[in-house]
Homo-oligomer: A and B are copies of this chain.
């Protein structure tokens, strides 16, 4: 497929004096020409990173579900993180054949394992559709109507684009809230397979203890492969599918990097909130983050308890528990960072300066004078109702069975509507994946844990006055015994743990589901009006904030004269910087390259600090092949750098000045969890696995030399 024309205008108006930028910035690739990357150390043509006319580096980058990956061979071989492939490894593992524990290496393509739920997308083009989206808005609309109208218009644009470009996936992304919209077109690959994964003792070495920390000693990488139909078109998994041929693949540079080397990352960073107000940050700091830390801390502890007795249960719960632990610790880091760096106060001070600027001109004052206050009001209201709202939403997410029941009923209601009127996940183009995710989550239901979590959430709701108004839970919340009875009855009278039953429900109408008289479905039906009310309330807030933030960006543009990059939103970005240590506190320096000796030193033999004996032996023998660091005389394991990343950059290639892959990004340092709200030159550090470690593990330790050959590393 040829590359579609690009429209650049959407960002131009937002870039002021973009000279000699700091390392802050997740730049849309259309803007690279404005950055003097050569002065920072780039040794290739910017036009070879991104180009509308010919193939370029960007063609070798893909999104792998919520992560990033790089094509590293002409046959669709992808390198990404172990934690990005985790769901696939877990799904293929049983207590008897424990791939998570033992690792996996396909000796040829026939052995590669299907990774259900995985999709790979490659950015093909993008164009500004802001006018098309916003022309739908009229001043008479309520905020709910505004949100719904914009949503529908975005869906129409996507549908039209997919009709015009068969086989292509279209997404309209919001770049600046309420102001700028861009249509992205993606090649969309649905047959993804697991090729190689080190044992979790390598790929997740240090586990939750080391997660979000530097120094790091985790071999967090794995290989997957993209498959398409024999005719090259995107297709669901089929035996006869063939390896996808990317337009370009990234060259692996086995010589690695050194301290102070220039590096850049391409990837799909998820969400940042750098353009959000102090009032939003205050809500995060005072309400949402502490709630998450507390809630997830409890849920993780329950899952750990359950998993301790039985490896099969541990496997079922591992993916969920790992992902909660990740968010929990990140949230703790953010809380600490917000307070330590006094970020709310700093942003409030910026807003005061903006307010003074607004007040300086009568016209500006009348148009924009109230915006910041009005935004603050939305978050104040959110804060007020937060205890109830957070608990009732997490009631649904805590119990997998309740979540499945609500999704089934919601789907029946939504699927009865015209396609464009439905919630996005129930539209024809998305419904297949929604069902697949639900089935994967059903596979991992562990009823005793599910019960404990549901009971715990009900106990939280019990102390929450707004919940007592909720008719369907009135009896359940009246006493501890009633709660226990209520919960026992739910699990005794449901068939939703049965996958055939779940399938049968998917074709039923709301009326038919109500007649099923399944306890969880009944609860879902009873709670449905409340969840619907909350969804509408969300749309109302979104509409209000969308309009306010749109205006805020406009007046900020007039005020600010520094660089101005849209918040991360899951679209393709480039960030650059250098391999560089930092000082997290007085009298401590962290240097930017760790070694295999550090792995051995950390090894205690107790999870998560177990190291396979073969690695310890090879280290003792100094059998490093060509992968030793020339000065350290050891295998470099992980590297640290000052680029600007966030979640979604997991699996991003660390590229050297020539655009060659020298590592795979997988995390940030603890102090850099705060990146989501603010970047800081002194301590915003990202980190990745050194390609030399990945290659040594793959080839020397686990003998998959055919993969090194496929990547052209001999």
Per-residue B-contact encoding for A570-587, CB less than 8 Å = 1, 0 else: 000000000001000111
For the complex, what is the distance from the CA of A602 to the CA of B214, rounded to whole Å?
Answer: 20
A593 within 8 A of B: yes
User: For the complex formed by this chain, how many copies does it contain in all?
Assistant: 2
Residues of B within 8 A of A214 (CB): 587
For the complex, what is the distance from the CA of A592 to the CA of B589, rounded to whole Å?
Answer: 11
14 residue pairs of the A-B complex, CB under 8 angstroms, read A215-B586, A581-B587, A585-B601, A585-B602, A586-B595, A586-B597, A587-B590, A587-B595, A587-B598, A587-B640, A588-B588, A588-B589, A589-B589, A589-B590
Name the residue of chain B whose CB is nearest to the CB of A216.
B587
A217 within 8 A of B: yes
Of the listed residues A340, A587, A594, the one surrounded by the most CB atoms of chain B closer than 10 A to its CB is: A587
Residues of B within 8 A of A90 (CB): none
Name the residue of chain B whose CB is nearest to the CB of A587.
B215
Residues of B within 8 A of A581 (CB): 587
Q: Are A601 and B586 in contact (CB under 8 A)?
A: yes
- Smallest CB separation, A559 vs chain B (Å): 30
Residues of B within 8 A of A595 (CB): 586-587
Q: Secondary structure of the A side of the interface?
A: mixed
For the complex, what is the distance from the CA of A598 to the CA of B594, rounded to whole Å?
Answer: 26
Residues of B within 8 A of A592 (CB): 587
- Smallest CB separation, A272 vs chain B (Å): 25
Indicate which residue in B217, B586, B598 contacts A598 across the interface (CB closer than 8 Å): B586
A547 within 8 A of B: no
A591 within 8 A of B: yes
For the complex, what is the distance from the CA of A589 to the CA of B589, rounded to whole Å?
Answer: 5
Residues of B within 8 A of A594 (CB): 586-587
- Smallest CB separation, A461 vs chain B (Å): 31
Residues of B within 8 A of A586 (CB): 215, 217, 594-595, 597-598, 601-602
Residues of B within 8 A of A587 (CB): 214-215, 581, 590-595, 598, 640
Indicate which residue in B340, B591, B598, B640 contacts A589 across the interface (CB closer than 8 Å): B591
Residues of B within 8 A of A588 (CB): 215, 588-591
For the complex, what is the distance from the CA of A595 to the CA of B592, rounded to whole Å?
Answer: 24
For the complex, what is the distance from the CA of A215 to the CA of B340, rounded to whole Å?
Answer: 18
Name the residue of chain B whose CB is nearest to the CB of A586.
B598
Residues of B within 8 A of A601 (CB): 340, 585-586
Residues of B within 8 A of A217 (CB): 586
Name the residue of chain B whose CB is nearest to the CB of A593.
B587
For the complex, what is the distance from the CA of A589 to the CA of B640, rounded to whole Å?
Answer: 15
